[in-house]
Structure 1
Amino acid sequence: MNRTILEVDHLEKRFGPIRALSDVSFAVDEGEIFGIIGPDGAGKTTLLRILAGVLRPDAGSIRALGWDLLRELERVRPLLGYMPQNFSLYGDLTVRENLAFFSTMYGTFDPAWMERLLRFAHLERFLDRRAAQLSGGMQKKLALIGAMIHRPRLLLLDEPTTGVDPVSRRELWDLLSGFHLQGVTILVTTPYLDEAERCTRVALMHRGRMLAVDAPDRLRASLGHPVIEIIARPIMRVHAVLADHPGVLEAVVLGDRIRLVVRAGSLSPVDVESMVRTIPGVTVQEARWAVPRLEEVFAHLMRREGTDG
């Protein structure tokens, strides 16, 4: 069993009247890719900035790599890599100069390791290009290998794939997977629920609170309500009818189909198909049970949070 590398207990942070973090607690085991998933304003960036030592919390404690992060930050800092959400490189410096600067700053200049990182990120051909002249995806890759230049044991990444194209997103995740295979523990925040599938465990975060923490497959299994998928035309007319049914908790159009989260025991695929066939001018291709998606779990937890609040 892997040992715990990061423990966060009852973390609180306010900015004036705004509570950015509220009683946040979780733990990350060595060797994990731990994802914190949530929309803008969930508190992800505030949490990462505290873990990186940029901000101090108002309450709570953090142990990282065996040290008290809030009291012994200088002992922990050399073991952390941090990539903030906003562009953190020097635009007037070349790729080579940026990496040399970060190497010098960390006191760990290692030309062989730098060369390996550049090959890993496919940036070796751009050594003399200024960072400001790189594409958005290449800037992100440069920032990522800059955070790895001193071989950290724990890598903190704040929305590393936000604002880049789908190909660059995949390349960035390939980089992360490579670092993970080399033994680096990764904590990554993202607004994209599909990226949760690449994580060993996921924390779903909303309005400064952790709604749930578990492996993606166990989170899907925790929904507690069955899901039905139906393909029928015209899709928006069908959606309007199904969304009004008292047994339907959520009805979402996804491509060519409608996904329904229904109250347990209220509706079956046969019931839904029979109901839809009574709508004039509608044709039905199929209705079936479906595996819950993380989006549906998140929506259910937010509804419950709203009800409880």
Structure 2
Amino acid sequence: MNSIEVKNLTKKFGDFVSVNNISFSVKKGEVFGFLGANGAGKSTTIRMLCGILKPTSGDATIGGFSVIHQPEKVKLKIGYMSQKFSLYNDLTVEENINFFAGVYGIERNILVERKKWILTIADLKGREKLLTSSLPGGIKQRLALGTAVIHKPEIVFLDEPTSGVDPIARRNFWELINSLSDDGTTVVVTTHYLEEAEYCNNIILIDSGRLIAEGNPKELKAKYITSKILEVQCDNVTEAIEILEKQNFVDDSNIFGNNIHISVNDNFVSQEQIINALSANSINIYKIEEVMPTLEDVFIHLVDKK
């Protein structure tokens, strides 16, 4: 059973096409990743799916309701957490929880139980009177998620929820996302951290408003990365990548953190070819190893191909 059905969804701002005729579906209870670089059209799509922004054309059903014809009913089915924390910094933790409970019309006896749950997941028991502005990013993030799902929605949209927080806080947040999914909540997450997509059941990749790939992480890597990937650690990375791109044994080469990922073809025989090419240009090599392809490799491959 699908919680979300998107058909030919398009959004234009004047002559600019922000989202270009995308279609996909999301199953009930799955964690669905919506991935792409900043400015790709992810947030615009989420706002349309939440009934906040009207599509130029196409439609989507969220929990059985049309975002065009029944946007107010859509809003009753969902929770939403924006990339800029949807909390009031000048209110205390408890005041924020009470405010969102009032917005969703939660009865007092239910609020007691939900408040305990939120304080537990955010690690804020006994700190209800703290001003929200004083909270560390990771804790504020979990509090924001708690208030977004305080009414136990069927579907929750998380728009860049881990932007600007440290890796440990991101990992803890994803544990919380998975627990929501285990309880049957459908979770749609937008992110530009491609390594986070490994946590998703299914994902779509979007670039310049167009859907360029979809599937689960394993399927995408198997489909689009068929060559061996080598990671090269060296100095003068920019110069090194220019040299490697000219070699007949290299299909693709891209900067990956502080290193280089190269996709090699049938002309590749051994790592000596890489060593010889770089050493001839006085570039020091510290490490070369074969690595498993990542979703970042997939995304770069697809964007470069386009």
TM-score, normalised to structure 1's length? Answer: 0.89
How far the C-alpha of 1:255 sits from its partner, in A, is: 6.4
Alignment CA distance shift 1:105-1:243 (3 Å) = same
Secondary structure in 2 matching 1:188: strand
- Aligned residue for 1:45? 43
- Aligned residue for 1:181? 182
- Aligned residue for 2:69? 71
Q: Which amino acid aligns with 1:160?
A: P
- Aligned residue for 1:276? 275
How far the C-alpha of 1:265 sits from its partner, in A, is: 2.6
Q: Which amino acid aligns with 2:201?
A: T
Within 2, Cα distance between the matches of 1:286 and 1:87?
A: 41
CA offsets 1:10-56 (integer angstroms, 9 cap, x no match): 01101122110001111000111000111110001101111111100
Within 1, Cα distance between the matches of 2:152 and 2:165?
A: 25
- Aligned residue for 1:195? 196
Is the 2:233–2:287 Cα contact (8 Å) retained in structure 1?
yes
Q: Which amino acid aligns with 1:102?
A: F
How far the C-alpha of 1:287 sits from its partner, in A, is: 5.3
Secondary structure in 2 matching 1:126: coil
Secondary structure in 1 matching 2:126: helix
CA offsets 1:142-169 (integer angstroms, 9 cap, x no match): 1110101000010101000001122221
How far the C-alpha of 1:258 sits from its partner, in A, is: 3.6
Within 2, Cα distance between the matches of 1:26 and 1:142?
A: 30
How far the C-alpha of 1:104 sits from its partner, in A, is: 1.3
Equivalences for residues 1-309 of structure 1 within 5 A: 3-109=1-107, 110=110, 111-229=112-230, 231=232, 236=237, 239-254=241-256, 258-262=260-264, 264-268=265-269, 270=270, 272-274=271-273, 276-277=275-276, 279-280=279-280, 289-305=290-306
How far the C-alpha of 1:89 sits from its partner, in A, is: 1.5
Is the 1:36–1:204 Cα contact (8 Å) retained in structure 2?
yes
How far the C-alpha of 1:240 sits from its partner, in A, is: 4.4
How far the C-alpha of 1:75 sits from its partner, in A, is: 2.4
CA offsets 1:67-94 (integer angstroms, 9 cap, x no match): 2232122323222001111232222211
| % identical equivalent positions | 35
Within 1, Cα distance between the matches of 2:251 and 2:83?
A: 35
Aligned residues: 300
Alignment CA distance shift 1:106-1:245 (3 Å) = same
Alignment CA distance shift 1:124-1:304 (3 Å) = same
Alignment CA distance shift 1:149-1:58 (3 Å) = same
How far the C-alpha of 1:292 sits from its partner, in A, is: 1.7
Alignment CA distance shift 1:17-1:112 (3 Å) = same
Q: Which amino acid aligns with 2:54?
A: R
CA RMSD of aligned residues (A): 2.3
Instruction: Provide structure 2 residue ranges, at least 5 long, that are not aligned to the other structure.
Output: none
Within 2, Cα distance between the matches of 1:245 and 1:162?
A: 37
